[in-house]
Structure 1
Amino acid sequence: MAQEQQTDMAVTRDAAPMRQVLIVDDSRAQRLIFARHLRQWGYEIHEAASGREALEICRSREFDLILSDWIMPGMDGLDLCKALRALPRENYSYFILLTSKNEKDAVAEGLNVGADDFLSKPVAPSELRARINAGERLLAKEREVRKARAQLEAAVEALDDGFIYYDADDRLVLANSRYRELYALSGPALVEGARHEDILRYGIARGQYPAATGREEDWLRERLIAHRAQGRTRQQLADGRVLQIVERETADGGRVSLRVDVTALHAAREKAREAEARAVQHNEELRAALTELQKLYDAVDRDLLEARRLQQSLLRKRHHAYDGTQLSLLLQSSGHVGGDMVGAFTISDTRIGVYSIDVSGHGVAAAMLGARIAGLFSGADKSQNIALTLDPRTGESAPLPPHTVASKINDLMLDEFETETYLTIAYADCDLQSGKVKLVQAGHPHPALQRSDGKIEFLGEGGLPIGLIPHAEYMTIETHLNPGDRLFLYTDGVTECETPKGEEYGETGLTLALRKHKDSEGAAFLDALKWELTAWAGKEDFDDDVSGVLLEYAHSPNTSAAQD
């Protein structure tokens, strides 16, 4: 993977890459995450905590790329982009807006003020890198266009014949010196942006066209028709010269025209035929390439469907019973496959471990990492379980404190996994006999604890994500379950589910759902929660993975972690 990344970066840099990057976000944590990735990719990073601070920085220096959050206090990302585009700049800055807005109107609004691209939160590093590479390619193409125009101007200046180019609105774009010499009487009107009809009227008024004398409006109408007809016409000038006019429409609806003598007409026609042949050949090659690309897309889609089946098969059993205590699992990916994973394993005769994992990003890479992390909590071989250790006194496996488990996974991610992705996790060690629960929250949503009387508590203080900061410290939280209580570990796909207007479901929505469906148990509750989220989002396909672990506690003197 590292070799592929280096190759990708090398190709981009050969195409005159961006070097200076400004990150604008009122969240220091978000700036830290993006800065870490961008520095690894070789960019020089500058940061701003607000839109106004960013604008002041941009007044004194220029950046190749500006990565800005949309929603910020004061000047938001939209206003920053608009203000930036109003500044006098020698070079173009590629502007990417970070947003949870994905409505067409919001995207259109961003494009109207000058944004070049959008990234939806949470941002996967692979997608961020791909969008930046796309921006670099776009800027490289822009430089190529400028170079091509300079070459075009040089080429037409070298022509022995007059050359003129009008855009789709019939406004003057380019006229070479030979053309200006031929139409010297119209010279003052030959300014960029002038309308073709106005240039003709100027020439008529100064005797540029003898054939127009006495029938000015009719001649003007005929000339405009001929101009748009892509034909060949002859024209006599006031000095007696007769020109052959050859006009063609450009791909964007404009017009190019040559003023040549009759002897040069054949050569001009041959060049046009050659250009047309090249265009036909190019179109055929393009159609063939698109056909092959569609085949590849179809193959990828089939593979993703198979990957989805394989990921779902990792949850061989979605309901577990432990002498009355019930454990139910929910896993629904937003796409073919996702980065969420949930599960449970046996620690001892009276204890179980349950976990909820959320890998940043979506797609195959996130799903593979999620499966790999879930594999660390192996229930089949306790000696390979990252949450267990061997007690030297008894020779039996013993559980590690949850905060130690989080630290071990963090070290493993940073030291051994070759990935630029991070994850969040909630892991709980549950004693089914005493009701005692020890859990760790590593950047994950706060676990919800609903008491038998309906009262709801949200546990934990957040904690740091896993895979970002070396030697990060985590904390074990302790609580106690009474008969009739239930503990719900879930991913942010639940609380960050949005309405079409962008309103998040949040802990408030989850609290209402827990109260509303207090009497629903196991899979019935999880199905009811999915229906609530579907109604909230106004669609059945969620924008993020939705998953969770529901533990419904019922103490029994003979409670055992042996499953039904």
Structure 2
Amino acid sequence: MIFRKGSALQTQRKGIPSEVTGAIQRVLVVDDSRAQLKMVETMVRRWGYEVLTAESGQAALDICRQLPPDLVLSDWMMPGMTGLEFCRHFRELQNEGYGYFILLTSKSEKGDIAEGLDAGADDFLTKPVNAPELRARITAGERIVSMERQLSEKNRQVSEAFEELREIHTAIDNDLRQARTIQQSLVPERMTEILTSRVSLLLRPCGHVGGDLVGMFKPGFGRLGLYNIDVSGHGITSAMVTARVAGYLSSSFPEQNIALERRFDRFYAMREPAETARMLNQRLSADPGVEEYLTLAYVAADLSSGRMRMVQAGHSPALLLHPDGSHRFIGDGGLPIGLVDEVSYDQHDFTMNSGDLLLLYSDGFTEAVMKNGEMLGEDGLVRIFRDSVRCGDGPDILEDMYWRFTSQMENADKLGDDVSAALLEFDVLKNSRGPN
């Protein structure tokens, strides 16, 4: 290994013009001919580059491991390790930046050039070396190295940005998973039995969290409040609205439940559903900055008599299925909650008989696109509801409905909307009559 003036191990160059600030600053010249080595070194140094020299491929490889060059000018035909072999080893080194490699050769056959390119050479220069041509080749190499380094820098920045986004995504994903757990806790009871009736709930958000909510509360003997809510939109904002509404219809804190009113300082009685909807609309309309609205189907049930009072505020109509398989839909629309400031709601009173089933459901069911390209619709809902009732009872009915529903969807792997349902099986537990 030979280090000429301006040692290869020096990190600061001396006597180098300040204008040389491009991508190529350090050049390694390799040639077993000392005369040729000196001539090329002198030319390159005159142009302002730091020059390292070596008289063999092995010596050049040792230099590259210590001080990776920006550009290599290597003779092809050398004893021991040829320039071609050196080029292959050079490409195998794990250097941060790209090194431009020019082979100096008297070879001109196309096969030789192809072999050099295959070994990793970027360019060729025939001997004897012509100074203007060598300068032009170095300048061309500088453009390539500059572009490569710019690309590498951009890739580094993209990788850093991607890693940062991945960390942010992981943090958001963890937060959403926790939010999903919290939202699921808003429905603590998925099934309960009251007197001889049974209530089951289903909630399947299309993402981590959703805008659907189902729930129930039991204010007294044989009394039941059952609701299904669908907040406009999806995701975190809708989920926050459902959490707020869940507090307004709390099953754990009756004093906070707007569907209940204190009587004689002794017990809580159920308000008329139409009045409950009106009060809920007042609460949501008064919230500043909240643009979301919701649809609601709410039933105040007397399970000792079968008397039902229902309000429908823009929600899908309730589905009443009789033991003989006949059915009817209850409800004719109404304005959603929180859409306008002052609104009154109609109330639907009806009676359930032994064995009747009442289903409250979100439009995530009926508006889902099936494999035939059409929405499930109300007829399709009735069909899968009947089929599921034949296969089980209680929560199994809703789970079977969901399975049948998703298996018929156009894209079964991803819900397009939140799906929720509340099921009341009236007077079906003949052998378990008693207090709730």
The amino acid across from 1:369 in the alignment is V
Which of 378, 384, 398 is residue 507 of structure 1 equivalent to?
A: 378
CA distance in 1 between counterparts of 2:273 and 2:265 reads 21
TM (normalized to structure 1)? Answer: 0.49
Q: Post-superposition shift, 1:561?
A: 9.0
The amino acid across from 1:294 in the alignment is R
The aligned counterpart of 1:329 is 201
The aligned counterpart of 1:462 is 333
The amino acid across from 2:423 in the alignment is L
Which of 425, 439, 444 is residue 296 of structure 2 equivalent to?
A: 425
The aligned counterpart of 1:57 is none
Which of 370, 376, 385 is residue 248 of structure 2 equivalent to?
A: 376
CA distance in 2 between counterparts of 1:561 and 1:347 reads 16
What whole-Å deviation, never above 9, does each CA across 1:70-104 have from its counterpart, x for those lacking one?
Answer: xxxxxxxxxxxxxxxxxxxxxxxxxxxxxxxxxxx
TM (normalized to structure 2)? Answer: 0.63
Which of 397, 419, 426 is residue 546 of structure 1 equivalent to?
A: 419
CA distance in 2 between counterparts of 1:560 and 1:521 reads 17
RMSD of aligned Cα (Å): 3.1
The amino acid across from 1:390 in the alignment is R
CA distance in 1 between counterparts of 2:270 and 2:433 reads 16
Higher helix fraction (1 or 2): 1
CA distance in 1 between counterparts of 2:435 and 2:289 reads 37
For the Cα contact (< 8 Å) 1:350–1:561, is it kept in 2? no
SS at match of 1:397: strand
What whole-Å deviation, never above 9, does each CA across 1:35-67 have from its counterpart, x for those lacking one?
Answer: xxxxxxxxxxxxxxxxxxxxxxxxxxxxxxxxx
Higher RCO by CA contacts (8 Å cutoff, separation 6 or greater): 2
For the Cα contact (< 8 Å) 1:433–1:556, is it kept in 2? no
The aligned counterpart of 1:283 is 155
1:351 maps to 2:223 = yes
The aligned counterpart of 1:405 is 276
The aligned counterpart of 1:128 is none
CA distance in 2 between counterparts of 1:276 and 1:449 reads 70
Q: Post-superposition shift, 1:396?
A: 3.7
For the Cα contact (< 8 Å) 2:196–2:430, is it kept in 1? no
The aligned counterpart of 1:494 is 365
1:298 maps to 2:170 = yes
For the Cα contact (< 8 Å) 2:296–2:313, is it kept in 1? yes
For the Cα contact (< 8 Å) 2:179–2:209, is it kept in 1? yes
Distance 1:501 1:484, change over 3 A: closer
For the Cα contact (< 8 Å) 1:343–1:355, is it kept in 2? yes
CA distance in 2 between counterparts of 1:479 and 1:355 reads 16
Q: Post-superposition shift, 1:540?
A: 4.5
For the Cα contact (< 8 Å) 1:387–1:400, is it kept in 2? yes
Q: Which runs of 5+ in 2 are unaligned?
A: 1-121, 124-131
Q: Post-superposition shift, 1:272?
A: 8.4
After superposition, residues 77-226 of structure 1 pair within 5 angstroms as: none
The amino acid across from 2:369 in the alignment is E
Which of 377, 380, 398 is residue 526 of structure 1 equivalent to?
A: 398
The aligned counterpart of 2:317 is 446
For the Cα contact (< 8 Å) 1:402–1:427, is it kept in 2? yes
CA distance in 1 between counterparts of 2:415 and 2:143 reads 55
What whole-Å deviation, never above 9, does each CA across 1:422-453 have from its counterpart, x for those lacking one?
Answer: 11111110011111111111111110011232
CA distance in 2 between counterparts of 1:329 and 1:426 reads 14
The aligned counterpart of 1:318 is 190
What whole-Å deviation, never above 9, does each CA across 1:248-287 have from its counterpart, x for those lacking one?
Answer: xxxxxxxxxxxxxx99x99999888767655543332222
SS at match of 2:358: strand
The aligned counterpart of 1:365 is 237
Distance 1:291 1:555, change over 3 A: closer
Between the two proteins, what is the percent identity of the paired residues?
A: 38
CA distance in 1 between counterparts of 2:227 and 2:245 reads 10
CA distance in 2 between counterparts of 1:331 and 1:557 reads 28
CA distance in 2 between counterparts of 1:341 and 1:560 reads 29
Structure number with greater Rg is 2
SS at match of 1:537: coil
SS at match of 1:429: strand
Distance 1:323 1:395, change over 3 A: closer
The amino acid across from 1:447 in the alignment is A
For the Cα contact (< 8 Å) 1:327–1:549, is it kept in 2? yes
The amino acid across from 1:325 in the alignment is S
Q: Post-superposition shift, 1:390?
A: 2.7
CA distance in 2 between counterparts of 1:379 and 1:561 reads 21
The amino acid across from 1:550 in the alignment is L
For the Cα contact (< 8 Å) 1:433–1:559, is it kept in 2? no
SS at match of 2:219: strand
